[in-house]
Amino acid sequence: MPGRLAGRVALITGAASGIGRESALLFAREGAKVVVADLDGKAGERVVAEIAAAGGEAIALRCDVARGEDLRAAVAAAERRFGALHVLFNNAGIFPAQDGSPVDTPEEVFDQVMLVNLKGVFLGCKHGIPALLRAGGGSIINTASFVAVLGAATSQVAYTASKGGVLAMTREIAVEYARQGIRANALCPGPVNTPLLAELLAKPEARARRFAHIPMGRLAEAPEIARAALFLASDESSYVNGTTFLVDGGISGAYVTPE
């Protein structure tokens, strides 16, 4: 049986680790040819090697999503190597440790988070949408966050603001391009079990405060978010457009009395 992405070409940013890596591996298993774009080129090559070992096709590109030229080159490489682009997964993002309250967050940290998390998605769409149109349409998946729809348990003003911007931008793109065969959805994960978050939750009080808000009592695992991305990339979601696709373990549906 052919995979759910058979015959498709997918470009994934931030694809060398975490959600991006798991999505690249899963998309390839489902038949997609994958462009693994990441700031860490060597780690991207390792993901490509994993895909090749499993019988899939992929290429790795060093890509800084804060640079429009890097994203333009990534899209061009997808079309040059594989003939088209059908799925654009703008997944790359950062969450600096210095991101806190509006009073405490350094201005340069706020600017950097906006540059990568928000402008990086804009640049991906700027250069990716023309390729999707040339392919006759496709799916855009932009990684936002559950904090785009409700406040975080701990201060992270730059990250939260950037993801709110991704959510709003995704809706606008969805409306603008729907009749041209392009769907755009915002994937909004809850907290995911990654090395970065593990570091942020190293203090028992921070961990307790976060976990009090998670009805399932655990963090998401990256493969769980990748499976949600696969749904949005595939024809199974053919009438899903402009959504706030929450994969948060019930956080946004819960009520917890603040400590």
Q: What is the DSSP letter of 221?
A: P
CA distances from 52 to 24, 25, 33, 34, 129 (A): 12, 10, 11, 11, 27
pLDDT at 257 (0 to 100): 47
What's the predicted TM-score (pTM) here?
0.94
* Residue of 126, 45, 138 lying closest to 88 (CA atoms): 138
Q: What is the pLDDT of residues 39-60, one digit of tens each?
A: 999 999 999 999 999 999 999 9
- In 3D space, the residue among 88, 86, 80, 82 whose CA is nearest the CA of residue 13 turns out to be 88
What is the rounded distance in angstroms from the CA atom of residue 236 to the CA atom of residue 243? 15
pLDDT recorded at residue 206: 67
Q: Token pair for residue 81?
A: 């190597």
Structural domains of the chain, ranges and CATH numbers in brackets? 9-194+221-246 (3.40.50.720)
Is 159 an annotated catalytic residue?
yes
The number of angstroms, rounded, from the C-alpha of 114 to the middle of its chain's C-alpha atoms is 15
pLDDT tens-place string over residues 173-229: 999 999 999 999 999 999 998 766 776 666 777 666 777 778 888 889 999 999 999
Pairing outcome for strands 9-13 and 182-189: unpaired
The catalytically annotated residue of 159, 177, 239, 255 is 159
